[in-house]
Amino acid sequence: MDVRVDDKVAVVTGASRGIGEAIAAELLASGANGVTITSRKEPNITAAAERLNDDRVLALVARADSEADAESTLAATIERFGSVDILVNNAGTNPAAGNLADVDLGAVRKTWEVNQMGPLLWSRAAWRQSMANSGGAIVNIASVGGMRVGPVIGAYNISKAAVIHMTYHLANEMAPYVRVNAVAPSVVRTRLAAALWEGIEEHTARAHPLARIGEPDDIARAVLFLASEAASWITGVVLPVDGGITGAAAAPGLGG
């Protein structure tokens, strides 16, 4: 299947590297008319735009947890490209490592503001400025951590569980004009997830039935599908892209 997003305009938050940059590249390669990428740091988003090297890219400094930045980014995208058809809520953070009983609450608040509140702020901006009238597709980047209990990163996992439930609610509330879905990765080769694979990649890979960790392109291809008309009758779905860790690994006779 040739999955395309010809003539569509997308906004991808947290796209200065890793999964976000891979999603932007995939959308451009699949015919997007314009892709706005954001990051909270100007040097990072400028470098990403230079790597993408495409005049269809609009690179903007914006915080994921800022309502004002969401509104201004959506407005700038519409001014430049004429619409917003696809929103990918990818930006995330995980500074709050530790057991919930002991972890620093300031770090927990930051994690939840970026990971939970951020997607809502940007989805509301997209709805108000474009999608309520013109329709569109929203794809949230969740995590398998939001679907199961795991050690050390409980605050992060809770935030991603909230994203999953938010996806269900927004899919119901924004239908039939907007489709809202989510992708739930397992461990992917990114800087955000480095503590889960750097120096222990073989061990981490063995935890996945497909015997490797994920690559940003694995997630980008799933996002492209859900954002495209190939998924036109799909909404309210959370798609694990996880090397089988939530499906095959939980099947009878396999590891847990």
The tens place of each residue's pLDDT in the chain, 256 residues long, gives 789 999 999 999 999 999 999 999 999 999 999 999 999 999 999 999 999 999 999 999 999 999 999 999 999 999 999 999 999 999 999 888 899 999 999 999 999 999 999 999 999 999 999 999 999 999 999 999 999 888 889 999 999 999 999 999 999 999 999 999 999 999 898 877 777 777 888 888 888 999 999 999 999 999 999 999 999 999 999 999 999 999 887 665 544 3
Select the CATH number that applies to the domain covering 9-188+216-243 from these four: 3.40.50.300, 3.40.50.720, 3.30.420.310, 1.20.120.550.
Answer: 3.40.50.720
Quick one: pLDDT at residue 251? 60
Quick one: pLDDT at residue 3? 96
Quick one: pLDDT at residue 72? 98
Give the Cα separation of 221 and 3 in Å (integer): 9
Quick one: pLDDT at residue 253? 53
Q: Where are the domains of the chain?
A: 9-188+216-243
Of all residues in the chain, what percent are helix, strand and coil, respectively (each to 5)? 45, 15, 40
Looking at the DSSP bridge assignments, the partners of residue 178 are 136
> Whole-prediction pTM value?
0.94
Contacts of 37 (CB under 8 A, 6+ apart): 12, 15, 16, 20, 21, 24, 45, 48, 49, 52, 57, 58, 59, 60
Quick one: pLDDT at residue 12? 98
Contact 92, 140 (CB under 8 A): no
Give the Cα separation of 231 and 108 in Å (integer): 35
- Give yes or no: 177 in active site: no
Q: Choose, from 81, 122, 156, 225, the residue flagged as catalytic.
A: 156
Quick one: pLDDT at residue 67? 98
